[in-house]
Structure 1
Amino acid sequence: MLQRAPDDALLQLQLRHGGDLALNHLVDARIDALPQPGAGQTLARWRVLAEVAAHDLSLVKLFEGHTDALAILAELGGAPETPAGASWGTWCAEPPDARVTLDAHESGRVRLTGTKAWCSGAAKVSHAVVSCWNAAGDPCLAAVAMDQPTVWVTENGWYAVGMAASGSVDVRFNRAVATPIGQPGDYVNRAGFWQGGAGIAACWFGGLLGIARMVQQRKGPKPDAHRLAHIGAIDVALTAAAAQLREAAAWIDEHPKDSAQRVALRARLVVEQAANEVIHHAGRAVGAGPLCRDPRFARAMADLPVFLRQSHAERDLAALGQFAANEQEEPSSWTL
């Protein structure tokens, strides 16, 4: 359980480290000791993610992966012995040109071989939860330590300016020793899969919250009507997204064992739409100055559009629409 407000803890860390925070700072300060998704304090978990994101989107990309790994290990078991202060990545993207295979090994261990893409923080984390495939073609999970000579962190796979600090590169395994987590198929079949997917929306929300805060700080002593209109549009977008996230967190806590796919898709899409609105209005509200002269504002405006593409865009809209189309009557979520 959180012992103090996340914004206070983050503020103290920022002051201590001159605002230049890293994943190990959050881990050492135990800010990663978040409530489990669906355990009654999902909103408190998301508030921490949002505050980290408001500070730095690349940092929250690593922090969310670390806390997601901890949640997976708690839910499925099979965690290896790890030293205090271990930092984790969660690398479960499955592009068709990068696949990791799992082979049985002695003493219940396994060996991983292949290339894993989109490995955020690969050069910084000490351990990772990795999706892989066994000999029967079943999807599996394994925990792997990164300090093995059979694990190579490449410099390939990331050329974008946005989210560059996340270090999301390819990692190659050559029979690296790992520990299996859960049973084949558990990763996507567990309740926490979509609960964690909804948590990504909290990270996006934190990104647009950080931008909105910087816009408000630059409103000037006497903002004109045009700037006020942009701030008003940002207020509308933020308020709608925050309400949707609160509703989603409450639903997850009330239905901890149920699939949260529909709830997660709706939350992600609402926040994505809000983020697009905030990006649109933020640049117009403050002009070119902060985009060119304020590194934090410029970085956030470059990072957020890239981070949002973790969404599957129209595919997610179609999946959400399918839920509504399958209902015999008007969806209850459409009524006040």
Structure 2
Amino acid sequence: MIGLDPWSPQAPDDPGLTALLEDARAAAGDPVAALALADRATERLPLPGTGRTAELWRGLAELAAVDLTVARTLEPHLDAVAILAQAADAGYAVPPASGTWGVYAAEGPGARLEARPGDEGRLVLSGRKPWCSLAEHVDSALVTAWVDDERRILVAVDLSHPGVELVDEPWVARGLPRVRSTGLRLTDVPGVPVGDPGWYLTRPGFAWGGLGVAACWLGGAMGLTRRMRTAATEREPDQIGLSLLGKADMALTAAAAVLTEASSAVDAGLVEGEHAWPRCVRVRSVVHDACETVLTAAAHALGPGPLTGEEEHAARVADLQLYLRQHKAERDAALVGQAVADGMPVAWA
């Protein structure tokens, strides 16, 4: 259960998770300090699709409510651990999920990473990979590389290999400023294939991972709404202030309910097949829209004061605005619409 009261702090039953959240606050804004929590986060938060998906997403949301830099740093590491576990369950030989990890699957103009056969079943990677968040800080990464003109394969690589070079690119972001994305240039870098060509995108866990990101978005909005409620207790709120707080609450409650329903569906084995990704995009879109509602409500309710005088609040607003841009807005709506036209189950039929 994501929570009937999604923006109220809840003491986790697990003392280890409580301690993790406390240390996440100490690591706020610092991705290196956040990565130092990776092993504990892996230990405390379950894998998706194993019967405790709601617990995983609630943990990600609570981390994000504490600090979005911490959540944005730990989420891809946890996703990589889950991907390796899913590959192992599918019968593939994979490296151990030790150290800290990134997941780099983006493509960009003028950047192409290619894989060719190497020794002992390994692959050799050469080329350039764009949008590699925290590549200068993590130990290893799962990267997609082209095996021919149409197919990509996921490969585990050691980023300390001498053939891996950071490509310094402009990073002017005001949100999540220290969660920097760079390019990577690889020259004859060996790697371990994780799955067959196409497996990464077709496995059910690809869609589930997208909802872990949505849980982080929800947590960022939870933090903003908690600040709104604090403001309502500091002085007598007027009807407008109460209306804005109510609007934020309703948006988060609806998003949490949809995410909770999705977690049950994932654990029941219902989110797989051709409609798995559109179903998850539909949920992501509901969460995204709720977060946008909260951002507007918080701006109207709190005014400029916290944005100019409170580092934590100002950072949370900027961080959430940037993080939400992983959502493709109208393009995602078109993807869902196409799936509905193609027969994806809907609640209103």
Q: TM-score, normalised by structure 1?
A: 0.90
- The alignment of Structure 1 onto Structure 2 pairs a total of residues equal to 329
Q: Which moved more, 1:18-27 or 1:161-170?
A: 18-27
CA contact (8 A) 1:191 1:256 kept: no
Which amino acid in structure 1 is aligned with residue 296 of structure 2?
H
CA contact (8 A) 1:6 1:47 kept: no
Quote how far apart the aligned CAs of 1:97 are.
2.6
Cα distance change, pair 187–99 in 1 and its aligned pair in 2 (3 A): same
Cα distance change, pair 130–151 in 1 and its aligned pair in 2 (3 A): same
Quote how far apart the aligned CAs of 1:228 are.
1.3
Which amino acid in structure 2 is aligned with residue 4 of structure 1?
D
Quote how far apart the aligned CAs of 1:108 are.
2.0
Which amino acid in structure 1 is aligned with residue 94 of structure 2?
A
Give the structure 1 partner of residue 263 of structure 2.
249
Q: Which moved more, 1:97-106 or 1:240-249?
A: 97-106
Is the counterpart of residue 36 in structure 1 residue 47 in structure 2? yes
Distance 2:154 2:204 in 1: 16
Give the structure 2 partner of residue 8 of structure 1.
18
Distance 2:106 2:27 in 1: 34
Give the structure 2 partner of residue 308 of structure 1.
324
Quote how far apart the aligned CAs of 1:3 are.
8.1
Cα distance change, pair 197–283 in 1 and its aligned pair in 2 (3 A): same
Which amino acid in structure 1 is aligned with residue 80 of structure 2?
A
Give the structure 1 partner of residue 153 of structure 2.
140
Distance 1:18 1:168 in 2: 19
Give the structure 2 partner of residue 76 of structure 1.
87
Aligned sequence identity (%): 38
Quote how far apart the aligned CAs of 1:12 are.
3.5
Quote how far apart the aligned CAs of 1:34 are.
2.8
Distance 1:164 1:18 in 2: 15
Give the structure 2 partner of residue 124 of structure 1.
137
Distance 2:43 2:123 in 1: 28
State the SS of the aligned residue for 2:130: strand
Aligned partner (choices 274, 284, 287) of residue 268 of structure 1: 284
Cα distance change, pair 240–30 in 1 and its aligned pair in 2 (3 A): closer
- Deviation string 1:79-120 (CA, Å, 9 cap, x unpaired) is 3256x5x00001111223322111211122222111211111
Quote how far apart the aligned CAs of 1:30 are.
4.1
Distance 2:197 2:284 in 1: 27
Aligned partner (choices 217, 239, 244) of residue 225 of structure 1: 239
CA contact (8 A) 2:46 2:53 kept: yes
Distance 2:185 2:27 in 1: 35
Distance 1:268 1:72 in 2: 20
Give the structure 2 partner of residue 48 of structure 1.
59
Which amino acid in structure 2 is aligned with residue 214 of structure 1?
R
State the SS of the aligned residue for 1:29: helix
Is the counterpart of residue 64 in structure 1 residue 75 in structure 2? yes
Which amino acid in structure 2 is aligned with residue 318 of structure 1?
A
Distance 1:62 1:193 in 2: 18
Quote how far apart the aligned CAs of 1:132 are.
0.6
Cα distance change, pair 90–176 in 1 and its aligned pair in 2 (3 A): same
Within a 5 Å distance, the mapping from 1:76-115 to structure 2 comes to 76-77=87-88, 78-81=93-96, 84=98, 86-115=99-128
- Deviation string 1:41-63 (CA, Å, 9 cap, x unpaired) is 11111111111111222222221
Which amino acid in structure 2 is aligned with residue 35 of structure 1?
P
Quote how far apart the aligned CAs of 1:292 are.
0.9
Distance 1:56 1:75 in 2: 28
CA contact (8 A) 1:38 1:256 kept: no
Quote how far apart the aligned CAs of 1:201 are.
1.1
CA contact (8 A) 2:133 2:180 kept: yes
Distance 2:251 2:323 in 1: 18
Give the structure 2 partner of residue 158 of structure 1.
171
Aligned alpha-carbon RMSD (Å): 2.3
Q: Which moved more, 1:199-208 or 1:29-38?
A: 29-38
CA contact (8 A) 1:38 1:252 kept: yes
Distance 2:181 2:340 in 1: 35
Quote how far apart the aligned CAs of 1:29 are.
2.6
Distance 1:311 1:167 in 2: 18
CA contact (8 A) 2:24 2:34 kept: no
Quote how far apart the aligned CAs of 1:136 are.
5.9
Which amino acid in structure 1 is aligned with residue 145 of structure 2?
C
Distance 1:313 1:13 in 2: 34
